[in-house]
Structure 1
Amino acid sequence: MRTSIKIVHWLPRIICTLAILFVSMFALDSFDPALSVWKQILAFLIHLIPSFVLAGFLILAWKWELIGGIAFLLIGLGFTPFIYLHNYAMNHSVWMSISVVLVINFPFVVVGTLFMVSHFLKTKLQLQNQIHF
C-alpha cells in the first residue's frame, strides 16, 4: 500500500477514536457526591451510551468503510440542528452555538468523509491492479 493510502486508511480511525474519547469526557459530569456509588456508576454508564454507539459505528466503519463513512457523515450532519438549537436555547449566542456544533460534530463529518475517500482510493487501486494483470 502506498503511503498516501496508508495515511487515509489510518487517519479517520485515529480521529474518530479521539473524537469518541472527547465525547466520553462529558460523561464525567454524572458524578455527584450526593448519590450512592452504584447510582453514580449507573449514571456514568447511561452518559456513556452515545460513546458506545459511536464506538459501534467505528467498528462497522473499520470493516466496511463506505457504510461507516456514510453513517458518520449522517451522524455529524444529522445532529447539527439539534445540538445547535439546544445550545442556542441555553446561551442565546449564535456564535457560541456554532462553535459547539463545530467542536462536537465537525470531527465526525471529517471522519465520514475520510472513510469514504479511503474506500474509493482502495477501490481505484484494486481496479488499477486488475487492469495491469
Structure 2
Amino acid sequence: MFALDAFDGTHTLWEQLGHFSMHLIPSFILLAIFFVATKWELLGGILFTLIGVALSPPVFILNYRMNESIGMSLGIIMAITGPFVAVGILFVISSKLKKELSEAS
C-alpha cells in the first residue's frame, strides 16, 4: 500500500513502475526472510529479531528528532519494530518446542 505513492502522474509509466518496484524491495526482503523462517525456524527467528533490534535505534532517533518526545518515540518503535521482535521470538520458541517434541518421541 505504501508503495502506491510511486504513481504520482509526473513521470512516465516506466519510471513509475521502476519507483514502485524500488519501494517494494524491503517487502520482498522480508518475504524472503519469512520463507527462510518457515523452512529453518531458528534461523528465521534470529533474523526477524535482529531486524527488529537493528531498526529500533534509527527509528527512535528519527522520531525523536521530529517530535522531541521520548514516550511517543518509544510507542512508535513498539508499533514498527515490535512486531518483528515478537515474530522472531515466536519462531525461536516454535523451533525449541519442535526440537523438544522430536527428542521426546
State the TM-score, normalized to the length of structure 1: 0.73
The farther-off stretch of 88-97 and 105-114 is: 88-97
Q: How has the CA–CA distance of structure 1 residues 30 and 92 changed in structure 2, closer, same or farther, with 3 Å as cutoff?
A: farther
1:97 Cα deviation (Å)?
A: 2.2
2:39 to 63, 76, 86: 63
1:47 to 12, 23, 33: 23
State the TM-score, normalized to the length of structure 2: 0.90
Residue 90 of structure 2 is aligned to residue 114 of structure 1: yes
1:66 Cα deviation (Å)?
A: 0.3
Gaps of 5+ in 2: none
- 2:55 maps to a residue whose letter is F
What is the CA–CA distance in structure 2 between the aligned matches of 1:90 and 1:34, rounded to whole Å?
29
2:2 to 13, 19, 26: 26
| 2:74 paired residue number | 98
1:40 Cα deviation (Å)?
A: 1.3
Q: How has the CA–CA distance of structure 1 residues 99 and 28 changed in structure 2, closer, same or farther, with 3 Å as cutoff?
A: farther
Identity of aligned residues (%): 47
Gaps of 5+ in 1: 1-24
Deviations 1:12-31 (A, max 9, x none): xxxxxxxxxxxxx3222222
Q: CA RMSD in A?
A: 1.3
